[in-house]
């Protein structure tokens, strides 16, 4: 069982939480906590063992914590995700492989692509694929078609696995802090089109990738995970693309593993991540 807590900080919170667990015969296997000093917000994640019901633990925690407390107690549920793609396969392939071997931490409910190219690989893994084209129609109609297709499924998160379309604020408003993107750059540098060409032209010595929440501000959502790798003068732009795909896959996988294990808290426009 995992409990995640977010509330205003005050003296005695850890003791109050531990007391609730002791009263209910729950053993605390792990407890991580963090206080944002600027805003006096308290964040905690606990791994527990015992027989108490999740709803009882939740109620009792809410009774002893500040009134603004957000408490979630989950018996390690299997999350569900929907995946949006365009043509690039590397991130999707990694997700499908992890799903197949039950190491993803979630079940893939569907894959939706604005091109039909990746339908075949989804079929090989037995995952429903829907082609929702964007050609010849306006953005509003495309997003309505996308929304209609998505809402036929139940999911906790939408994963943009190299989905190369900018989603409007009206669309993202349907899923606040539930859309995750892998960005082909170490944000905030080299955003926009052809990032590897920009990096190549600039002569950079490091390239990276960023997994973040999607918000109404393009590429400005809270960052979950980032990673960089060194490059040098021997790298061509094509070499950078290949290296970039490897790091994109790794960073998205890392971000999903943290998110799906309830290790990520969002506060304002930043994250607290208990790795």
Nearest to 158 by CA among 174, 137, 169, 134: 174
Helix (H) or strand (E) holding 172: helix 169-172
End-to-end CA distance of the chain: 17
Residue pointed to by tokens 């994963």? 159
Closest CA to 116 of 87, 136, 153: 87
Of 55, 219, 239, 262, which residue is the catalytic one?
219
Q: Are strands 79-85 and 106-113 parallel, antiparallel or unpaired?
A: parallel
**Residue 219 annotated to the active site:** yes
Q: Are strands 79-85 and 157-160 parallel, antiparallel or unpaired?
A: parallel
Q: Is 56 left (phi over 0), alpha (psi -120 to 50) or beta?
A: alpha
CB-CB contact of 152 with 103 (8 Å): no
* Of the candidates 166, 273, 267, the residue with the CA atom closest to the CA atom of residue 224: 273
* C-alpha–C-alpha distance, residues 136 and 133, integer Å: 8
Q: At what angle do helices 195-202 and 237-260 cross, to 10 degrees?
A: 120
Give me the active site residues, please: 219
């Amino acid at each position: 069982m995992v409990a995640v807590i977010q509330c205003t900080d005050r003296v005695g919170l850890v003791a109050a939480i531990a007391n609730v667990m002791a009263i209910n015969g729950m053993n605390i296997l792990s407890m991580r906590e963090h206080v944002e000093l600027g805003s006096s917000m308290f964040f905690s994640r606990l791994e527990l063992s015992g027989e108490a019901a999740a709803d009882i633990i939740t109620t009792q925690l809410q009774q002893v914590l500040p009134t603004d407390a957000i408490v979630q107690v989950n018996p390690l549920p299997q999350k569900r995700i929907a995946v949006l793609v365009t043509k690039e396969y590397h991130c999707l392939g990694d997700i499908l492989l992890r799903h197949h071997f039950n190491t993803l931490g979630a079940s893939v409910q569907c894959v939706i692509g604005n091109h039909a190219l990746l339908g075949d690989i989804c079929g090989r893994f037995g995952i429903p694929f829907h082609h929702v084209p964007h050609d010849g129609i306006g953005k509003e109609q495309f997003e309505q078609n996308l929304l209609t297709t998505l809402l036929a499924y139940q999911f906790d998160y939408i994963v943009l696995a190299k989905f190369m379309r900018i989603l409007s604020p009206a669309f993202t408003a349907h899923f606040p802090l539930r859309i995750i993107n892998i960005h082909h750059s170490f944000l905030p540098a080299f955003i926009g089109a052809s990032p590897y060409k920009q990096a190549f032209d600039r002569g950079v010595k490091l390239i990276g990738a960023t997994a973040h929440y999607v918000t109404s501000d393009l590429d400005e959502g809270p960052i979950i995970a980032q990673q960089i790798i060194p490059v040098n003068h021997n790298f061509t732009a094509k070499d950078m693309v290949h290296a970039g795909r490897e790091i994109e896959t790794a960073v998205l996988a890392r971000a999903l593993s943290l998110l799906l294990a309830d290790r990520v808290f969002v506060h304002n426009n930043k994250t607290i991540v208990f790795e």
